[in-house]
Amino acid sequence: MKAIEESKISIVIFSENYASSRWCLNELVKIIDCKKTMGRKVLPIFYHVDPSHIRNQTGKFGEAFGKVKEKFKQSLDVVEEWSTALTEAANLSG
């Protein structure tokens, strides 16, 4: 997380399975937080996924995210942070 804070730019590569990784989702929350609080640049790359699938958590991307949501259903606040960060990142120009 310190490396993310110290970076001037973050490149996020979204794929169909991106949302299946709790690690990636936690990093994305940090990246979006740094964008908001420190003005860091974020460049999303959409690799074989449509930004709308990330924004709305649909398609194969949504299926992967659904599995993680089910696994962490006891931590709704964390899941909500992930969902919000995904939506915000998908709204950026890539």
β-sheet bridge partners, residue 80: none
* Catalytic-labelled residue, pool 5, 6, 16, 27: 27
Helix (H, G, I), strand (E, B) or coil at 45: strand
CA distances from 29 to 4, 22, 26 (A): 11, 11, 5
User: Which position has the token pair 């001037």?
Assistant: 8
Q: Is 27 annotated as catalytic? A: yes
Helices 76-90 and 59-71 meet at what angle, rounded to 10?
A: 160
Q: Which residues are catalytic?
A: 27
